[in-house]
Amino acid sequence: MPLSQKLTASFRDWSASFLAPFRLQVNKDEPPFWADIVRERTLALLYDAMHENGNIGTSTHPLDHVHNWGLASRALECVDRQEHGRLSVHHICKELGCTTRALQYAFQTTLDLTPLQYVLTRRLHLARRELLSVSSGPSSVTKAAANQGFQNFGRFSHYYQVLFGELPSDTLRRREVVMFRRNGKL
């Protein structure tokens, strides 16, 4: 039972927009909670797709272009539960009891990206949230990167700049300006 054309188009448009930050610069004033919005929208679209075909509560879904909606949804939840440290595709597969190929296929057909791309994007957004957090943010870019499992800080900075359009040090500097303004020191 395939999805309606409207829902399929909606999901394809959304998944294309998900990758847009990798191709274009993101608005620097965008809130740091973009990853949460992406997750919620993904789960809503998955729910709509399952509901449309009457398969709520099952882990498989008889769609021509989707191997397993439930697997993708559970993988997103697994990634979201991991707040700090390096989360690997192998770890997700082990936790979900699936093969790497099954997870790759579920992500490609539902989100049009790989699990590794999603995990990297999620970790970058969590690092950005730390850098922008006035109350409990880290005192350095290195600490924010390390908290999210990045070991190569040059690559972290590169990926960060591609996604957000600014260096992590610029984000931290903006946070410090906000802190000074709040404390009346600027």
pLDDT of residue 156: 95
Full domain range(s) for residue 119: 5-182
| Structural domain total, the chain | 1
pLDDT of residue 110: 81
Residues in CB range of 57: below 8 A, 6 or more apart: none
Find the Cα–Cα–Cα–Cα dihedral 136, 139, 141, 147, rounded to 10°: -50
CA–CA dist 171, 160 (Å, integer): 10
CATH number for the domain spanning 116: value is 1.10.10.60
In DSSP notation, 114-138 reads: -HHHHHHHHHHHHHHHHHH-TTT--
pLDDT of residue 137: 56
CA–CA dist 115, 102 (Å, integer): 11
Q: Tens-digit pLDDT profile for the chain (186 aa)?
A: 466 777 777 767 766 666 555 444 444 444 445 555 565 666 666 666 665 655 444 444 454 344 567 888 889 888 888 766 667 888 899 999 999 999 998 888 888 889 989 889 889 998 998 898 867 655 789 999 998 889 999 999 999 999 999 999 999 888 877 666 777 655
Single-letter residue type at 14 = W
Dihedral sign, CA of 107, 16, 37, 59?
A: negative
* Contact of 82 with 39, CB cutoff 8 Å: no
Q: Give which of 143, 129, 95, 141 is closest to 115, Cα–Cα.
A: 95
Residues in CB range of 130: below 8 A, 6 or more apart: 137, 138, 143, 144, 147, 148
* Contact of 115 with 73, CB cutoff 8 Å: no
